[in-house]
Chains A and B, each alone.
Chain A
Amino acid sequence: MRYEVTAGDQTRVVQVEQDPRGGWRVSLDGGAAEAVHGGRIGAAEWVIRRGDRAQRVAVAAVGDVAHVQRRGDAHQLQVVDPSRRALSFGEHEHTGAVITQMPGVVVRVLVSPGQRVAKGAPLLVVEAMKMENEFDSPCDGVVESVSVADGQPVDSGALLVTVVPDEEA
């Protein structure tokens, strides 16, 4: 399986296959495949061994996101299967989609469809962990749809509001 793995502004192509003798065959950026072994030491904690060198790594994948922790540094990577990306393309693609990156409860919707908003104007407020977090309009435009209502719980990744930017209208 071939994946495009992105951390910050660095994207690398990682090819992973199961090794029938145990572990995996892994190649980085089209290089030679090497044997990698993994031993599980916790629910999301592994020892990864390349050759004779073993390192403790905490890792878990959720959808296209992989959380990795190694020697005190936490990384959040995008791991994309290029063959599947085509299927999801087109969803929320324009700049006016306001999506929450954290779960919470919608406490106040401040706009309604058809309303004109300026860039930076408050659209709605989501509360999580006793903190109110305001979501602002990413652009000048017109509110096309409001996908949530007051009091509604939302998950991470949920679409909240769509604003049609002026240049697209």
Chain B
Amino acid sequence: MLLKPFTSVLVANRGEIAVRIIRGVHEAGLRAVAVYSEADGEALHVRLADEAWCVGPPPSSESYLLGERLLDVAAKAGCDAVHPGYGFLSENADFAQAVLDAGLVWIGPPPDAIRAMGSKTAARQRLRAAGVPMVPGTVEALTSPEEALAVAADVGYPVMLKAAAGGGGKGMRAVFDPEHLLSALASAQSEARKSFGDDAVYVEKLVVNPRHVEIQVLADGHGACVHLFERDCSIQRRHQKVVEEAPCPVLPPATREAMAQAAVKAAQAVGYVGAGTCEFLLAEDGAFYFLEMNTRLQVEHPITEAITGVDLLQAQLRVAAGEPLWFAQADLVIHGHAIECRIYAEDPHHNFRPSPGPLLGYREPGGPGVRVDSGVVEGMTVPIHYDPMIAKLVVWGETREVAIARARRALAEYHVVGIPTSIPFFQAVFDDERFIAGRYDTGFITPEWLDTALRVEPIAQDEVFIAAAIARFELDRSATRTAPEGGERSLWRGAHQWKTITRGGLGR
């Protein structure tokens, strides 16, 4: 693992995380080189970087995922380090190795650690041996129906059958009694064979109504490994996190400590270096089980930064440069409460259908305790080719109550005009009594909840009708005045009924 000082970082990503990395790189006094696809020429990360290189057409398979092309840009632009962000190539051990082989610093964990955590069954075996609590069940694939019945009886019903090669809910079956086990096993195997070309299935105890709680860890290249407490990511839609908070509103201190120790053990078991996250299921009875380790900086890292005061991106850069961690576990305390909302270009009033398109108006909220990490700017078009997340709203408050009030206030201030976003969905979450009480699990968002909570479209007051009619009036008026080929998207052009007051000397 190459750890040494560097001066120029290739930011191998797009969107808000590319912006986050560029800002951190600049704060460290280093040079940031961005890459972009043909669909992202207008994006914020391209504007903020010291220089930006186009790496191909819009589909990520022809641009952001082309490791060789990224390395080529790194060489041409004189970069001596690569930050992969999250998604794309961030957990691709071969790419990490290629970066190191090119003599560059990889701002991420060692390729071996990425590999060790990449295979679910291999990671289970290794971590169980290290004493990390796992959901009870088999580690290896089942060899016979008799074995399935015996193991299920042993761990106790309900159980979950899972495809060893699986993901995305395919090849998974929940079984509540022995009578249904064999037919469920047959269908899980057949689905696994069709989806992954491998019918290996293993069995686990089904954790009922779990919460998803994860621990942030940070390790340097000198043997130190600390945790930065937990994040509760139980508010999920279609297995995607949408709201995260730190700390978890229901975690007893003793459980937090035990979970954090398990996470540190897991990281040490694979020789982890850098920032990583261990995900756990928290059962209703307070037991917790390791799920997987994410070997990268997570989307929701800002809420940990908010409650600990540790800048995780700076930590990544300093660790990659070979520096030791500059604080110890005992220096870390939880201060206040933080909540993140992932703002998606999706229409919550129409079954969350994607809503790419022109951002005619865009203004982020501000004020005390509010941070917005985004990759968009007013006037640009949100492309159809990538993940729909356009921004993250992160709020901090001295208490959870203050943080929720601040989240509400910031959402009401947020203006996104031209495309629907998930903002109304978050308003419904923060109005829900179960959320306010902290009593929720990964089953919080159901179709029934969405129907009730999002049913009411806001009532339009007179001002809304008047504003809509005036906007249309000015659009019609500018259309009759400008040349037809004008193609200008600036609306309400020529409507300058309020004169701008220019103060002497300013704005020249």
**Cβ-based interface call for B258 (8 A):** no
Choice from A38, A40, A129 contacting B356 with Cβ under 8 Å = A129
**Cβ-based interface call for B156 (8 A):** no
Please give the distance in Å from B243's CB to the nearest CB on chain A: 17
Are B363 and A3 within 8 A (Cβ)? no
- Return chain A residues, CB-CB under 8 Å to B360: 43-44, 60, 62, 67
Are A131 and B354 within 8 A (Cβ)? yes
One digit per residue, 1 when the CB lies within 8 angstroms of any chain A CB and 0 when it does not, for chain B 378-409 equals 11000011111000000000000000000010
**Cβ-based interface call for A51 (8 A):** no
A156→B357 CA distance, assembly (Å): 9
Most buried by A among B360, B362, B468: B468
**Cβ-based interface call for A81 (8 A):** yes
Give chain A interface residues in 118-169, CB to chain B under 8 Å: 128-131, 133, 153, 156
Given the known inter-chain contacts A24-B473, A43-B361, A60-B417, please indicate yes or no for A104 contacting B384, CB distance below 8 A: yes
Most buried by A among B360, B414, B469: B469
Given the known inter-chain contacts A43-B379, A44-B361, please indicate yes or no for A74 contacting B468, CB distance below 8 A: no
Are B354 and A129 within 8 A (Cβ)? yes
- Return chain B residues, CB-CB under 8 Å to A43: 360-362, 378-379, 490-491
Given the known inter-chain contacts A5-B469, A79-B469, A104-B384, please indicate yes or no for A74 contacting B424, CB distance below 8 A: yes
Given the known inter-chain contacts A60-B491, A67-B418, A74-B423, please indicate yes or no for A102 contacting B356, CB distance below 8 A: yes
Nearest A residue to B383 by beta-carbon distance? A129
One digit per residue, 1 when the CB lies within 8 angstroms of any chain B CB and 0 when it does not, for chain A 103-123 equals 111000000000000000000
**Cβ-based interface call for B483 (8 A):** no
Interface residues on A, range: 35 or more
- Return chain B residues, CB-CB under 8 Å to A37: 497-498
B interface: dominant SS: mixed
Are B361 and A42 within 8 A (Cβ)? yes
- Return chain A residues, CB-CB under 8 Å to B420: 74, 76
Are B458 and A75 within 8 A (Cβ)? yes
Given the known inter-chain contacts A42-B361, A72-B412, A131-B354, please indicate yes or no for A48 contacting B467, CB distance below 8 A: yes
Are A129 and B387 within 8 A (Cβ)? yes
Are A26 and B354 within 8 A (Cβ)? no
Are A69 and B417 within 8 A (Cβ)? yes
Please give the distance in Å from B385's CB to the nearest CB on chain A: 8
Nearest B residue to A10 by beta-carbon distance? B460
Give chain B interface residues in 146-194, CB to chain A under 8 Å: none
Choice from A36, A67, A70, A104 contacting B461 with Cβ under 8 Å = A70
A14→B93 CA distance, assembly (Å): 61
**Cβ-based interface call for A22 (8 A):** yes
Interface residues on B, range: 35 or more
Given the known inter-chain contacts A3-B469, A26-B470, please indicate yes or no for A68 contacting B379, CB distance below 8 A: no
One digit per residue, 1 when the CB lies within 8 angstroms of any chain A CB and 0 when it does not, for chain B 433-462 equals 000000000000000000000000110111
Are B473 and A16 within 8 A (Cβ)? yes
- Return chain B residues, CB-CB under 8 Å to A99: none
Please give the distance in Å from A135's CB to the nearest CB on chain B: 11
- Return chain B residues, CB-CB under 8 Å to A3: 469, 472-473
A131→B414 CA distance, assembly (Å): 25
Are A40 and B355 within 8 A (Cβ)? no
Please give the distance in Å from A84's CB to the nearest CB on chain B: 9
**Cβ-based interface call for A95 (8 A):** no
Given the known inter-chain contacts A38-B470, A39-B498, A40-B498, please indicate yes or no for A77 contacting B460, CB distance below 8 A: yes
Are A60 and B460 within 8 A (Cβ)? no
A116→B171 CA distance, assembly (Å): 33
Given the known inter-chain contacts A45-B363, A59-B471, A129-B384, please indicate yes or no for A38 contacting B495, CB distance below 8 A: yes
Give chain B interface residues in 462-508, CB to chain A under 8 Å: 462-477, 490-492, 495-498
Are A14 and B356 within 8 A (Cβ)? no
**Cβ-based interface call for B416 (8 A):** yes
Give chain A interface residues in 14-28, CB to chain B under 8 Å: 14, 16, 18-19, 22-24, 26, 28
Are B470 and A24 within 8 A (Cβ)? yes
A71→B346 CA distance, assembly (Å): 20
Given the known inter-chain contacts A70-B463, A103-B384, please indicate yes or no for A59 contacting B468, CB distance below 8 A: yes
Nearest A residue to B410 by beta-carbon distance? A72
**Cβ-based interface call for A12 (8 A):** yes
Are A60 and B361 within 8 A (Cβ)? yes
Are A102 and B415 within 8 A (Cβ)? no
Given the known inter-chain contacts A60-B417, A75-B458, A129-B354, please indicate yes or no for A46 contacting B492, CB distance below 8 A: yes
Please give the distance in Å from A168's CB to the nearest CB on chain B: 27
Are B463 and A55 within 8 A (Cβ)? yes
**Cβ-based interface call for A52 (8 A):** no
Are B468 and A38 within 8 A (Cβ)? no
**Cβ-based interface call for B427 (8 A):** yes
Choice from B346, B353, B470 contacting A36 with Cβ under 8 Å = B470
A43→B418 CA distance, assembly (Å): 11
Given the known inter-chain contacts A8-B457, A10-B460, please indicate yes or no for A77 contacting B465, CB distance below 8 A: yes
Please give the distance in Å from B428's CB to the nearest CB on chain A: 12
**8 extra interchain contacts, Cβ-Cβ under 8 A, other than A8-B457, A10-B460, A40-B498?**
A58-B363, A61-B472, A68-B468, A72-B411, A73-B424, A74-B458, A75-B458, A102-B355
A-B contact pairs, 6 of them (CB 8 A): A3-B472, A10-B460, A16-B469, A38-B498, A61-B472, A103-B384
